[in-house]
Structure 1
Amino acid sequence: MLTNWYQYGNSIGVQPEWTTAGVRALFTFRHHPDDPNDTLNLAFQEGTPSSATVTNRSLVAKQMGVELSSLVFVKQVHGTSVVTITAEDRGMGAMAPDANRVSADAMVTNVPGVTLCILTADCVPVLFYDPVRRAVGAAHSGWRGTVGHISARVVEAMQREFGTKPRDLLVSIGPSIRSCCYEVDDVVAEPVAREFQDPVLFLRFGKPNKYRFSMQSAIRMDLERLGVARARIEDTGLCTSCRANHLFSHRKEQGRAGRLGALIALA
Structure 2
Amino acid sequence: MLTNWSQQRNTIGVQPEWTASGVRALFTFRHHPDDATRSLDFAFQEGTSPEVTVANRALVAKQVGVDLESLVFVRQVHGTDVAVVNAAHRGMGALSIDADRIAADAIITDAVGTTLCILTADCVPVLFYDPVHQAIGAAHSGWRGTVGHICDRVIEAMSREFGTRASDLRVSIGPSIRSCCYEVDDVVAEPVKRAFAGGHVLTPRFGKPGKYWFSMQGAIRLDLERMGVLRDAIEDTGLCTSCRVNHLFSHRKEQGRAGRLAALIALA
Same fold (TM over 0.5): yes
Instruction: Look up the match of 1:57.
Output: 57
Helix, strand or coil at the partner of 1:26: strand
Distance 2:150 2:184 in 1: 20
User: Does the Cα contact within 8 Å between 2:18 and 2:170 map onto a contact in 1?
Assistant: yes
Q: How does 1:187-266 map to 2 (within 5 A)?
A: 187-197=187-197, 198-266=199-267
Distance 1:121 1:46 in 2: 11
Deviation digits for residues 117-155 of structure 1 (CA, Å, limit 9, x no counterpart): 000000000000000000000000000000000011000
Structure 1 unaligned regions, length at least 5: none
Cα distance 1:28–1:165, how it changes in 2: closer, same or farther (>3 A)? same
Deviates more, 1:200-209 or 1:44-53: 44-53
Instruction: Look up the match of 2:30.
Output: 30
Q: How does 1:124-163 map to 2 (within 5 A)?
A: 124-163=124-163
Distance 2:12 2:88 in 1: 32
Q: How does 1:6-155 map to 2 (within 5 A)?
A: 10-34=10-34, 38-45=36-43, 47=45, 48-155=48-155
Instruction: State percent identity of aligned pairs.
Output: 72
Helix, strand or coil at the partner of 1:207: coil
Deviation at 1:5, TM superposition (A): 2.0
Q: In angstroms, what is the RMSD of aligned CA positions?
A: 1.4
Helix, strand or coil at the partner of 1:261: strand
User: Does the Cα contact within 8 Å between 2:28 and 2:262 map onto a contact in 1?
Assistant: yes
Distance 2:22 2:95 in 1: 26
Helix, strand or coil at the partner of 1:56: helix
Distance 1:46 1:240 in 2: 17
Distance 1:30 1:192 in 2: 30
Cα distance 1:21–1:232, how it changes in 2: closer, same or farther (>3 A)? closer
Cα distance 1:133–1:33, how it changes in 2: closer, same or farther (>3 A)? same
Distance 2:121 2:102 in 1: 20
Distance 1:10 1:39 in 2: 10
Distance 1:32 1:233 in 2: 27
Helix, strand or coil at the partner of 2:178: coil
After superposing on structure 2, the runs of 4+ consecutive aligned residues of structure 1 that deviate more than 6 Å are none
Instruction: Look up the match of 2:4.
Output: 5
Deviation at 1:6, TM superposition (A): 5.1
